[in-house]
Homo-oligomer: A and B are copies of this chain.
Amino acid sequence: MPPPDPQRLSLNTATVRKQWQLAQIIEGCARHGIRGISPWRDQVAEMGLKQARSSIRSNDLTVPSLCRGGFFTAKNWLDDNRRAIEEAHALGAQCLVLVVGGLLEGSKDLSLSRNRINEGIATILPEARKAGIPLAIEPLHPMQAAERACINTLEQALDICDQLGAGIGVAVDVYHVWWDPKLETQIKRAGKQRILAYHICDWLVPTRDLLNDRGMMGDGVIDLPRIRGWVEGAGYAGFHEAEIFSELDWWRRDPDEVLRTIKDRHQRAS
């Protein structure tokens, strides 16, 4: 694979959330020539929606996605997702990422929780369509099934998309799906229309924590160029979003160093 277009790099703001507030992250992206930024809603709220929007625009950054809607198994899911759609619209986000939520509180019933999630997505989809915000279901790694998302494979996510029609697709995060024996076929099946986001990082060996021990591209075992080949082969031409939750390493470093490393690794190891 030839190296990717550097203009396709974007930053998920969680990657430096321990060091910088959103205003600093926006400035950091502009300073380092990273053209896309995907903010988390708590950071947007902290900065103020209007100010975030205005700063992102004045720095000429694109917002590939807003993180996140979802958590359909929690209370208040409907109001929360409506607000998420509004915020995505206000920020000019290209999609709203859905982390769909884990098991219903106190329940071991995966099937029931999954039905609730499917119903929740179906409920908010018309509002998302009206706002012009595509919904991106992000299948999470099976190790996060209990607590964060009962949608755990691309195949499962695409089955839901098949049922719901237009305005919905998937976020392909290599960390969650790299292991899947059906990854290549499901990326093909998703196709250009339904791959709404592509997230990169790496799987460390050993992995010391189930949530916050992601690696920098090139530091782990994921064959990133191969997966990018599949995604681009399916027609995806959007951003490559670096999203690295790293309690033990990257969250402890100088954020300018983190951004420099991401740019370098995007070119050399993604």
> Which of A38-46, A48-56, A205-213 lies at the interface with chain B?
A205-213
Judged by a CB distance under 8 angstroms, whether A258 is at the interface is: no
Given contacts A147-B205, A147-B206, A210-B210, contact A179 B142 (CB under 8 A): yes
Q: Chain A 118-152 against B: per-residue CB contact (8 Å), 1 yes, 0 no?
A: 00000000000000000000000111011100101
Could you say which residues of chain B place their CB within 8 Å of the CB of A86? none
Q: Chain A 139-177 against B: per-residue CB contact (8 Å), 1 yes, 0 no?
A: 001110111001011011000000000000000000000
Judged by a CB distance under 8 angstroms, whether A203 is at the interface is: yes
Contact of A141 among B143, B155, B203, B220 (CB under 8 A): B143
In the complex, A142→B141 CA distance in Å? 8
Q: Which residue of B lies closest to A207 (CB)?
A: B210
Given contacts A142-B143, A147-B205, A203-B146, contact A179 B210 (CB under 8 A): no
Contact of A103 among B156, B210, B221 (CB under 8 A): B221
Tell me the A199-248 residues at the B interface (CB within 8 Å).
203, 205-207, 210, 220-223
Could you say which residues of chain B place their CB within 8 Å of the CB of A110? 178-179, 223
Copy tally for this chain in the complex stands at: 2
Contact of A179 among B109, B152, B181 (CB under 8 A): B152
In the complex, A201→B114 CA distance in Å? 23
For residue A12, give the distance in angstroms from its CB to the closest CB of chain B.
21
Could you say which residues of chain B place their CB within 8 Å of the CB of A222? 108
* Interchain CB contact under 8 A, A181 and B156: yes
Q: Which residues of A contact B (CB under 8 A)?
A: 103, 108-110, 114, 141-143, 145-147, 150, 152-153, 155-156, 178-181, 203, 205-207, 210, 220-223
Task: With A110-B178, A147-B205, A152-B180 given, name 12 new contacts (CB 8 A).
Answer: A108-B222, A110-B179, A142-B142, A142-B143, A143-B143, A143-B207, A145-B178, A146-B179, A146-B205, A146-B220, A147-B206, A153-B181
